[in-house]
Structure 1
């Protein structure tokens, strides 16, 4: 079903929630609700007053409204809009301005009267802001208030730019942005340093007066804050919780954004379940973690007292359930990620044959391979598999400008010492210096600077792969075209991206492919790269026998880790191997100490990897399994043939 759950409330959920299969379907639904409002108001010869939001979340809503205008004649002549917020200070023609955003995504493509468009003014003098904000409120009030308010939600729980601490009756005003909000915006501005510290925003009280409020959220990244907003106590620490007080609000989510809600995450606490193997495994592990007990020590009372009586009754006795899940977890652990030769593989995560496998490790950025599965990478090489690594993108946007200059300076000095003619190189260097000295936030680098930054990352990747034991002819640099825009906003994927991946797969004909299944990266490159691999393998499986026997394993670690119940292969990493992995990560010097886009994790990548690998091993140990120094975790992708 497109709409998975329509306004299904539980005792845990404190406001209406609709969950859709994907953001596209949800966005079309919201757009059509807006369209119906506009048509109803037109029929009554009255204006439709819309409160609009910016950011990635509403883009597909605006795209559908544009389509309805162009293809179905929906007019916006009776529409008056008020945008939620704007950065301060901000010029309206800046790339990051919400004026620019709204024009590009909606207003320039419809027949709205621009006099009916209202967006907070980021160019005002500080002393003029209070009067502007009062006038903004008055304009909304004089029109009888907002008919509908569209919202997104930030990871701080902000709606608009009402950050934690905002009052429930607050009006339009100047606010200071939370550090997490600024970190999330860093990529749009070319670094957090360039993100404004303030914004003008409608208040929670203003939003609350709308006759209908729709909050939309997409992706797993929003799941934890959605749970707090929907199921948590009302608190100024999470401003979105104030929406629980409204009788006119609805949350519109895709399935990943809803995944932490109790009815999806722990459904046995809500209703009777169909107890699949996967759900039993999840529930038993949850129970053990909740009670801080090893699996084999869980009792019937533990099941009965924690919402799992149905499972105990239908599948018990509980000790048999415990034994079954314990054994399943035990069978995920293997020191042979390429399969153990001459062994019974019926209870092992990988096949025994062929004993020596052809393997491709796909790495979205030039360091994801060693950060996320460096120990397994080294193990596969040590166990004599035919391992290749493919770096899907250059990663050239994640290198500091001064690093690029430093490398060119080295070449200038080196050629000088060697008595080589470096006139052109010196001219190029001065050109780069001039550009960088005058560079605006998030300005696209010149082709020469992009090349230098890409070569820095390439050299580091080669050093890392060599350290893991690969020969140069097994190291591949794809430089997929979708990435090579020079911008943080990448180009759409084309057939060329898929064809280049197909060509590499056909060349190697692997029995094993490893790909990044960690889709929490702040730049969104991982999921794009994974979908390219998936499209390539799906196409090859139609005609080539080897592709049908190729297993696709997903790894995580740079940004996020698999939950214990999801893991299908856990590769133990010894203390010595963990050190080797760390040194492989160290080869990526441009990403060490202070990465350009670190996300909201202050630790260096090697620290994140080490801590997550140790946490995975501890999670197994806590459940009563063998204690290891560290573990890397994998989940196998299931193709639908």
Structure 2
């Protein structure tokens, strides 16, 4: 990572809105490697000087890839941690070190158990200290950090509330290690690691903001679209206790490291024409015109030269002025709209997003989980079936860990009762009693037992086939891929493997589709969508020279977690009120994913509500641009692989 002085960085025109040095990388993998190498260089430097390297370490999903690279450096390049003293940012209050949700467990699992750090050099706040002694324990933690001369390097993630460590909104700039009460949003965001929100601890012990700011060097990480809003507030906003991360603006050597998705709302990324000179590509022009239309609250065809000039966009006017630009942009967005996602037979398709021929297409809808198909593109799915295409649905993972234990217990109990009713004899108590015990013990197990996962997977299969039948899909066109990378029995998954790619490849070769729909919604908080998409890309890359692939187009959809910006949409499928209701019913068929689900994410609405709201919002945005008014719209972006 390029290190420049605060003074040098503050003079760069492209970052004139930013108050924290920010580095944007292509993806989290690339950025994590670079951060890990900076930490490794510091460890080696301190070792050469025969000094302790004092590291402040973070938990959560953000630093996992950093720790993975540090482990690789230790095992393959001889990086030793024997001179490292670590101090963790925080710990849940009330969790023992054996608890799989505790942060001490997290650190051993993701780093400490794989390197040669000395056990006596590992320091993590004591989440089990008696309440009456907690203040003293926190003071001792501070004193121990000071005894080593403070932190040489502090690694941070950032929460949706802008918390660093567990310093929630309201934390003071000079705060020290203490017990705090977790914000509701933080509890909600962390519920994925527990059986339900009710099981998430409400209190935690955390280093204070003041403690963090004393570190000689600070690096804060953010990955994914869901972090984009808080990144902008932290980097460009005013310093405030309402967003504790903004206090990092006071630090003399801090870098905010992010991937492209997390950077999307920074001014230099979102509206580069407001920062300085930029290259006006067609894509950037579309983005700018949509932004301008929304900013001045005018449809495209009512934008004037003055609107463009007043907003640093005069460079795109050219000889024809605003009239020519407006007409061109209006026509572009008009041509993205189609009621025929599989192509309109016997029609001129020169200005349509899809081909007219073949009139009846073979189609694969890849769904990462057993409900992403109907949640994200349920209206288009229905339209494709109604218009006579041969639609196949491929559920890439079992989705088993997203079924709550109480739901699993209910189905297991039902299976026992059904067997006894149908067979007219008592079921084997040993079999079911073992199963019931495994289900009850599941919440605090590192790996969910295979038998329990099988039941959870069957529950989700049953829901998926029910939704497909409701849409009129034959059972023979529903495919359960159960990709191996997913079947770990825990939230953390394996990397994509050759077996995963081969399964996807085999299905594509079997069906020889004219269209592939795939989930491009990378805001999924646990990365399953991203791995599934990479698997499809890898399979398609191996098949792209095949003759049938020359007639295959791939469309990416979003919806469960995020939506494509309207300027990026290349096919917009209007959904009627009746189709929207059918889509809702199809989503309801996934009963295990309703009413307070295991992986609720940062949005407390049910999935059908999220989906409808996003589809209506997309339709509203088209309407505001001056285009036709629809009830709802699903948006797609074409992926070119040839």
1:595 is displaced (CA, Å) by 2.1
**Whole-angstrom CA distance in 1 between matches of 2:320 and 2:239:** 40
- Structure 1 match to 2:574: 572
1:248 is displaced (CA, Å) by 1.9
**Whole-angstrom CA distance in 2 between matches of 1:446 and 1:47:** 42
Which of 605, 609, 634 in structure 2 is aligned with 1:603?
605
Alignment check: 8 A CA contact 1:2 1:25 kept: no
Moved more, 234-243 or 428-437: 428-437
**2:70 partner SS:** helix
- Structure 1 match to 2:280: 275
Which of 559, 562, 565 in structure 2 is aligned with 1:563?
565
**Whole-angstrom CA distance in 2 between matches of 1:418 and 1:64:** 55
- Structure 2 match to 1:616: 618
- Structure 1 match to 2:514: 511
Runs of 4+ in 1 over 4 A off after TM superposition: 6-9
The answer to whether 1:499 aligns with 2:525 is: no
**Whole-angstrom CA distance in 2 between matches of 1:148 and 1:594:** 39
**Whole-angstrom CA distance in 1 between matches of 2:39 and 2:609:** 47
**1:145 partner SS:** coil
Which of 483, 488, 491 in structure 2 is aligned with 1:488?
491
1:444 is displaced (CA, Å) by 4.0
**Whole-angstrom CA distance in 2 between matches of 1:109 and 1:454:** 32
Which of 104, 109, 112 in structure 2 is aligned with 1:107?
112
**Whole-angstrom CA distance in 2 between matches of 1:411 and 1:97:** 35
- Structure 2 match to 1:551: 553
1:287 is displaced (CA, Å) by 0.3
1:486 is displaced (CA, Å) by 2.2
- Structure 1 match to 2:392: 388
- 1:169-208 to structure 2, matched below 5 A, reads 169-208=174-213
TM-score normalized with structure 1 length? 0.95
**Whole-angstrom CA distance in 2 between matches of 1:36 and 1:565:** 43
**Whole-angstrom CA distance in 1 between matches of 2:485 and 2:303:** 51
Q: Deviation per CA, 1:583-615, whole angstroms, max 9, x where unpaired?
A: 222222222233222222222222222221111
1:154 is displaced (CA, Å) by 1.1
Alignment check: 8 A CA contact 1:272 1:310 kept: no
Moved more, 108-117 or 82-91: 108-117
1:388 is displaced (CA, Å) by 0.9
Moved more, 465-474 or 244-253: 244-253
Alignment CA distance shift 1:530-1:611 (3 Å): same
**Whole-angstrom CA distance in 1 between matches of 2:521 and 2:482:** 20
Moved more, 530-539 or 580-589: 580-589
- Structure 1 match to 2:465: 462
Q: Which runs of 5+ in 1 are unaligned?
A: none
**Whole-angstrom CA distance in 2 between matches of 1:252 and 1:448:** 41
- 1:320-399 to structure 2, matched below 5 A, reads 320-399=324-403
Alignment CA distance shift 1:405-1:152 (3 Å): closer
1:255 is displaced (CA, Å) by 1.9
The answer to whether 1:28 aligns with 2:33 is: yes
RMSD: 2.2
**1:488 partner SS:** coil
Alignment check: 8 A CA contact 1:194 1:441 kept: no
Which of 155, 159, 170 in structure 2 is aligned with 1:150?
155
**1:489 partner SS:** coil
**Whole-angstrom CA distance in 1 between matches of 2:186 and 2:245:** 15
**1:510 partner SS:** coil
Moved more, 31-40 or 85-94: 31-40
The answer to whether 1:55 aligns with 2:57 is: no
Moved more, 405-414 or 270-279: 405-414
1:107 is displaced (CA, Å) by 2.7
- Structure 2 match to 1:300: 305
- Structure 2 match to 1:124: 129
**Whole-angstrom CA distance in 1 between matches of 2:454 and 2:556:** 30
1:163 is displaced (CA, Å) by 0.8
**1:423 partner SS:** coil
Q: Deviation per CA, 1:263-315, whole angstroms, max 9, x where unpaired?
A: 01110110111111100000000000111110100111111111212223x46
**Whole-angstrom CA distance in 2 between matches of 1:442 and 1:281:** 50
The answer to whether 1:261 aligns with 2:261 is: no
Alignment CA distance shift 1:432-1:72 (3 Å): closer
1:109 is displaced (CA, Å) by 3.3
The answer to whether 1:535 aligns with 2:538 is: yes
Alignment check: 8 A CA contact 1:358 1:511 kept: yes
**Whole-angstrom CA distance in 2 between matches of 1:551 and 1:378:** 19
Alignment check: 8 A CA contact 1:2 1:21 kept: no
Moved more, 549-558 or 517-526: 517-526
